[in-house]
Amino acid sequence: MRTKVVWALALSAALIAACQREMEKMVEVSGHIFVFNYRVASATYLVTLKKTAAIPDGAVAIAEFENPAGGDPIVLTEKIYPAWDKITLQSPNVHCIRKDRPYSVKIRLVDAGGTTLQELKTQLVSDVDQSILPSKPLVVGPLYTQNPEVFKPDGTTDFSNTDKCPAA
C-alpha cells in the first residue's frame, strides 16, 4: 500500500511540473552602455532589448537601475508597442558613476493586467569615471551658446565637477 501511495505522489508531482510552463523568452538584452554627454554634462544608463517573440498589446517594460549615488533604485516604465523590434530603455540623468564598478539593472516585462511575462538582469560597467564630466552644461539653448557659468566673461573657465558622491 505504501508503495502505491509513493508512486501516486510521484506521478502527481510529475504531472504538476509538466503543467507549469517556463516563462517565455520574449526579449533579450542586445546592448547596454553608460552614455556620457559632455555638452550637457549628463550621464545615463542605456539598455536595448531585442524582441524574440510576440509581446501582447498593453505590455510595459519596468526597469530598475541601481542608483550610483546610493539610495533607492531609479525606476523607469516604458510602454512597448507590438510593432517594435527593438526596445530602448534610457534612465534619467544619474550621478556618481565609478570606473570599473558593476551596476545592476533589473527589467520586467509586464502585461496590461500586471502579470510578469519575463524578468531579465544585467550589469553595466563604465570604463571611465563620471568625474570627467563638468558639473554644468557647456552649452545652453537651441543654438549651442556657450554657458556663461562655465565660460566666464573674463576668459576663464570653470569645468569643475561638484557632484557630492559617496566614497567608493
Q: What is the 3-state secondary structure (H, E, C) of 104-147?
A: EEEEEEECCCCCEEEEEEEEEEECCCHHHCCCCCCEECCCCEEC
Which pLDDT tens digit goes with each residue over 118-140?
999 999 999 999 888 888 899 99
Direct distance between the N- and C-terminal alpha carbons of the chain, in angstroms, rounded to an integer: 64
Which pLDDT tens digit goes with each residue over 37-71?
989 999 999 999 999 999 999 999 999 999 999 99
CATH 2.60.40.10 assigned to 25-133: yes
Which pLDDT tens digit goes with each residue over 65-101?
999 999 999 999 999 998 899 999 999 999 999 999 9
Please, which residues have CB within 8 angstroms of residue 154's CB and are 6 or more apart in sequence? none
pLDDT at 49: 97
**Interatomic CA distance for residues 124 and 107, integer angstroms:** 13
Q: Where are the domains of the chain?
A: 25-133
pLDDT at 121: 97
**Interatomic CA distance for residues 166 and 66, integer angstroms:** 14
